[in-house]
């Protein structure tokens, strides 16, 4: 298990990925992502690897038009190696923010109309 300093709560992951917390919870229920549960309240905590997988799942579903089950199967079969998704996601293949010297280039979604931050 990653150290506590390398784990992020669902709210932070929501901001980083642009997905709402209920979507992340649903993906967990569907077996697409498996955050660790921490503490007495069993809070969901995500590692950098989980965040990478969430970004890849989102790419496969939105851009490759795969269903959630197809996306999960594609990941299990090693699809990420062939898409070059790491390069687009983190700036260089094989690098992530959890590794030293990596650049963080995840696009952050803008608030939708009616949400906080909207004028």
Q: How many helices (H) and strands (E) does the chain have?
A: 6, 3
Domain that holds residue 30: 4-90
pTM for this model (two decimals): 0.65
CA-closest candidate to residue 25, choices 42, 4, 2: 42
pLDDT tens digits for the chain (119 residues)? 666 668 999 999 999 999 999 999 999 999 999 999 988 888 999 999 999 999 999 988 998 899 998 988 888 887 655 555 555 554 444 444 444 444 444 444 455 556 554 44
The conformation of residue 108, written as its DSSP 8-state character, comes to P
Total domains, the chain: 1
**Domain presence at residue 46:** yes
pLDDT at 119: 43
Rounded Cα distance, 96 and 12, in Å: 17
pLDDT at 77: 82
pLDDT at 48: 92
**Domain presence at residue 27:** yes
End-to-end Cα distance, the chain: 42
């Amino acid at each position: 298990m990653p150290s506590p300093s390398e784990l992020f709560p669902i709210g932070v992951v929501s901001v980083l990925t642009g997905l709402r917390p209920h979507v992340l919870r649903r993906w967990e229920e569907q077996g697409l992502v498996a955050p660790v549960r921490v503490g007495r309240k069993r809070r969901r905590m995500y590692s950098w690897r989980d965040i990478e997988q969430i970004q890849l799942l989102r790419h496969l579903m939105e851009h490759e038009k795969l269903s959630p089950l197809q996306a999960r199967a594609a990941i299990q079969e090693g699809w990420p190696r062939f898409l070059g998704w790491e390069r687009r996601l983190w700036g260089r293949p094989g690098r992530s923010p959890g590794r030293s010297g990596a650049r963080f280039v995840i696009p952050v979604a803008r608030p939708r109309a009616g949400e906080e931050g909207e004028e």
